[in-house]
Each structure stands twice: as structure tokens, then as C-alpha cells.
Structure 1
Amino acid sequence: RGFAFRRKQKIERQYRKLLKKERKVHSQQDDQFTDTYPEHLKHLYLAEEEMLKKRRKAPRAPDDSVSPEENLNKAVESVMNEGKFKKKTSNQKAKEEYEKIKAERARKKE
């Protein structure tokens, strides 16, 4: 158990400490607004607060209603839009070409 092990333990302690602080901050934020709402708007603030809590807790799931081809087209468009502002790396170019070929194959299958 040399210096690397002690350094690892120190980093783990710091990380746990940071997580503990974040939990305290989140709990304070949740309780911060409960009783300070104006009565005529209270129901709106409470509904928004619940919505934000659900977003934080719920894992993000891909949208099942959108077809894979539409997702592919969106991905290609986003890559194209990013290309307008930045030069593409060779990896990005290769990915874009791959996406185009994949889209063509899907069209041919249909």
C-alpha cells in the first residue's frame, strides 16, 4: 500500500465530501420556495416544481415515436450544421460518410 493507494483514498474522500455537499444544496433548493408563493399563483409554482423534480429523477429515454431513419437524418443535419462553424476532423468526416451510406442502404431496403 504505497503512495498511489493513499492518493486514491484521498481523492475518494474528497469526492464523497463533494457529493454530500451537493445533496445538501439540492435539499435546500427544494425547500426554498414552498411557503413564499403568492396565494393566487401558488398552484402554478407548485406544478412547475413537481415537473422539475420529475425531470431530475426520470432517466432520459429515447423517443420511440420517431423512426430510426428520422433520427439518422437529424444526426446528419446536426453534423452538417456544426460543419458550417468548425472544420471537420477526419473522424467526423468518416462518420458523416458512414451515416450517408447507412441511409442509402436503408432506402434501398425499403
Structure 2
Amino acid sequence: MAATSPSETLAIRRPTVAAVDLAAIAGNVRRICDRVFPAEVMAVVKADGYGHGAAPVARAALLAGATQLGVALLEEGVALRREGLRAPILVLGGLFEDQIEAFLAH
């Protein structure tokens, strides 16, 4: 019998489930926007919205008052553009020279 790591054992006994409540996300963004007004709010949705779906989380945040989006990688920003999102997007991780053309196109 092969040995299992503690994380493998826990995954078998206690699976992780995340329920995403877009209304709660929107409410949180609204409260932040109200608190920091007149400053603008950037919703960081890198890593697929931290595993919750970048496009739905981004839409909820923008509808609630965020004016900008942040992503880690150019590919994440391009994916948001392909989903129809038009808010300004900051690529937090920077760009390589061979990515500049794709960056400018989106």
C-alpha cells in the first residue's frame, strides 16, 4: 500500500467546497466604494477570481462601483476582454517584450 500525504488524507475525508455569492461580493465592493469615495476602487480578480470565476466576479464588482480590474497575467486580462469586459485592466505581473503587441491589441 502506498503512503499518502496528510493533505491527500484530508482531501479524502474533508473535501473543500466554495460557494460564491456574487451579491455578497457586490455588497462588499459597494461598502468599500462608499468608504473610500472619491477614490476609485480596483477589483483584483487574478487566479480566476481566486478560484471563483474571474468574469462573474469582475462583473459583480464593476456593477457595484469598482472602476478598474487587476490581474496577475496578460492572459487573464485578455480572457476578461473576450468576456466583454471593457473596464481598465492593470496587469500586476508586468509584461515580457513579446507580449506587448497582444497587450496593445486588448
Q: TM-score, normalised by structure 1?
A: 0.25
Higher strand proportion (structure 1 or 2): 2
Q: TM-score, normalised by structure 2?
A: 0.25
Larger radius of gyration: 1
